[in-house]
A and B are shown apart, each in its own frame.
Chain A
Amino acid sequence: MKAINLYIWLAAMLFPTSFVNAQDDAFGPLTNTDDFVQKVKTRTAATQTIQSDFRQEKHLTMLEEVLESEGHFIFKKENNVVWSYTRPLDYTIIVHNGKFIIKDGDKVKEFDIASNRMFKEINNMIVTSVSGDFLDNPDFEAVYMENEMFYLARLVPVKPEVKDMLSEIDIFFDKKDMQVAKVKFLEPGDDYTLITFSGKVFNEAVPDNVFTVSN
Chain B
Amino acid sequence: MKLRNGIYFPWALLFVGMLTITSSCSYKHYKGFEPVVAENVSPPRLFDTAFSKVVYTTNFRVFNQELSGLTLVKKVKSTNSFHIVFMSQIGLKFFDIEIKPNETEDWFHVNFIMESLNREFIVSTLKTDFMLLFSKYPEHAETGIFRNTENEITETTVRFDKYISSIFTDRNNKITGIELRKGRSVKTSIHITPGKEYPKELDIHNKKGGMNLTWKEIRM
Contacts and interface: CB of A to CB of B under 8 A. Distances in A.
A67 B66 CA distance: 22
Nearest to B115: A164
Given A60-B85, A67-B72, A161-B115, A83 B219 contact: no
A109 B92 CA distance: 19
Interface in B58-90: 66, 68, 70, 72, 74, 76, 83, 85, 87-90
B190 interface: no
Contacts, number: 63
A85 interface: yes
Contacts of B111: 189
A65 interface: yes
A142 interface: no
Interface stretch (A12-20, A42-50, A86-94, A197-205): A86-94
B80 to A, nearest CB: 14
A58 B74 contact: no
B13 interface: no
Interface residues of A, number: 31
Interface in A150-196: 161, 164-166, 185, 187-189, 191, 193
B132 to A, nearest CB: 23
Interface string B98-132: 00000000000001101110000000000000000
Interface of A: 56, 58, 60, 63, 65, 67-69, 83, 85, 88-89, 91, 93, 102, 104, 109, 117-118, 122, 126, 161, 164-166, 185, 187-189, 191, 193
Interface of B: 53, 55, 57, 66, 68, 70, 72, 74, 76, 83, 85, 87-93, 111-112, 114-116, 218-220
